[in-house]
Structure 1
């Protein structure tokens, strides 16, 4: 059952999402070759707790960390390790936080150092897919409209769209109804109504759409070993239109500052 939210509840979701957005900004400040993903995880946990929130992923389904960090061919659900990030890596960072009983859930894929033009284009298109999906999140459309337009934009450019993993409703639990696939048919699926709150998260692969699980039973990788990208926003339907609750502003500010220094 879909739990439609009041405007007051949406503001609580926005506050939680903004904690996650600022946390990803802190990650953006720190991420560089030589830094380990466990170091990024510690930065994120400390910042979330400093905001009066608690990590949303830590312990969820027994996940052992604050961040899901997926590198290169890893699609999602990679967990932090003491392996240093290398020049040329692409690093997807997915973060959740709980504030005042409501979840925020938000992801960004970072290009670290000298990343190939081919992979940079993948990141650009995946972010475009996210924005296209958000634009479809309005009263009068159906869930299939979101997935159809994401799928078309990615596949028209030769990329693989992961089928087994989807976005989701969000509220006082991390994963609510409805599921939000990144593929679909126009005019199909549940009607989009006022007060809907969802996490839209395209997972787009440079090559095949096919994936597999590693032996750790968490990390999901592309079957062909090519890079994957993942961007995610929390979105509410307010006054019939999409209202993006999370933001990439803090990430973009941190990355711009780094570019100016270099």
Structure 2
């Protein structure tokens, strides 16, 4: 609770030590044997002055409480509810599919680090550039009344028009071509018939499979007039991603990513979700190394030519989560908002190249 401080002046006149009270200075005392005539008049003046100052202090306290209440009072959003999920969209036969398509099992995370030669790096750049371009165009669709299902259809068409496969489609029974996570949804939201509302935030997570390589990226977008509180959460989440990337280079420790992200998030009182992690990416969708976004003591060093994602999720409240019966959609346990950003990066000798830009 913020403490109330007395003003250093009143009506432009400085307050001397003799007029400070309430334990901040020794109180003035008056002897009954000395208070007479002019002194008694001075005492009465002091009592009036004290009452005025007390009244000013009380008025300031009430005003401060009202201001604090107005700042902290947040318009409560209705909780996220599942809409109708439309049938899976068809894929042209000529587009190559990842090996997991057609299996109902969730693929295991590969234990092999993905380190590429020059040809592999060129293909990674192409896949990641496409993913970034699709994500940017998907973000332009975000506005009130648009459904996440409409966004999914647009993303699906953009990807197949480029001769690529939408990596989420058919991954462990995921039924759509993109993940759309609204408000309290941490990640893996399944597009459906729910219309976006004014004031929503939405993370769109795009991964494409092009020429045998996956490019993976996500961003949180504003829908209409978003509150300052939500804007700040989104801004700080993106800054956390930038700070995590900034320490990456050949020979750097993986654990420094989580340290940098946590340090920045904690300045604003945000939670850093521990359950979901970054991962190696390339010819395999998910592989080692596992990238923790919170403080950790995991061993391991980055290697030149290696590619992986960094994708922190920050929350306004609890980092605990609940997964819906669809086994994918995961929301914050307390209903507080969550934001996420993600890039695929390439480790170089002196730093990191962000591949998911164009």
Do these two structures clear the TM 0.5 threshold for a shared fold by scoring above it?
A: yes
2:314 matched to 1:204? yes
Question: 1:231 aligns to what?
Answer: 341
Question: 2:37 aligns to what?
Answer: none
SS at 2:140 equivalent: helix
2:257 matched to 1:134? no
Where do residues 164-243 of structure 1 align in structure 2 (5 Å cutoff)? 164-185=275-296, 188-243=298-353
Relative contact order (C-alpha < 8 Å, sep 6+): which is higher? 1
Query: What is the RMSD of the two structures over their aligned residues, measured on CA atoms?
Result: 1.2
Question: 1:124 aligns to what?
Answer: 235
Q: Which range moved further: 196-205 or 5-14?
A: 5-14
CA deviation string 1:134-187 (max 9, x = no partner): 11111231110111111111122100110011000001111011000101247x
* Deviation of 1:62 (Å): 1.2
2:210 matched to 1:111? no
Question: 2:261 aligns to what?
Answer: 150
Report the Cα distance in structure 2 between the residues aligned to 1:217 and 1:198, rounded to whole angstroms: 25
CA deviation string 1:234-261 (max 9, x = no partner): 00012331000002x6xxxxxxxxxxxx
Report the Cα distance in structure 2 between the residues aligned to 1:178 and 1:107, rounded to whole angstroms: 19
Higher-Rg structure is: 2
Q: TM-score, length-normalised on structure 2? A: 0.67
Report the Cα distance in structure 2 between the residues aligned to 1:240 and 1:4, rounded to whole angstroms: 16
* Deviation of 1:31 (Å): 1.3
Report the Cα distance in structure 1 between the residues aligned to 2:173 and 2:334, rounded to whole angstroms: 28
Unaligned runs of 5+ in 2: 1-111
State whether residues 193 and 240 of structure 1, in contact with CA within 8 Å, keep that contact through their aligned partners in structure 2. no
Q: Which aligned segments of 4 or more residues in structure 1 are displaced greater than 2 angstroms?
A: none
Report the Cα distance in structure 2 between the residues aligned to 1:220 and 1:138, rounded to whole angstroms: 32
* Alignment coverage as a number of residue pairs: 247
Unaligned runs of 5+ in 1: 250-262
SS at 1:30 equivalent: coil
State whether residues 244 and 260 of structure 2, in contact with CA within 8 Å, keep that contact through their aligned partners in structure 1. yes
Q: TM-score, length-normalised on structure 1? A: 0.91
SS at 2:204 equivalent: strand
CA deviation string 1:30-71 (max 9, x = no partner): 111011000000000000011111111100111100111010
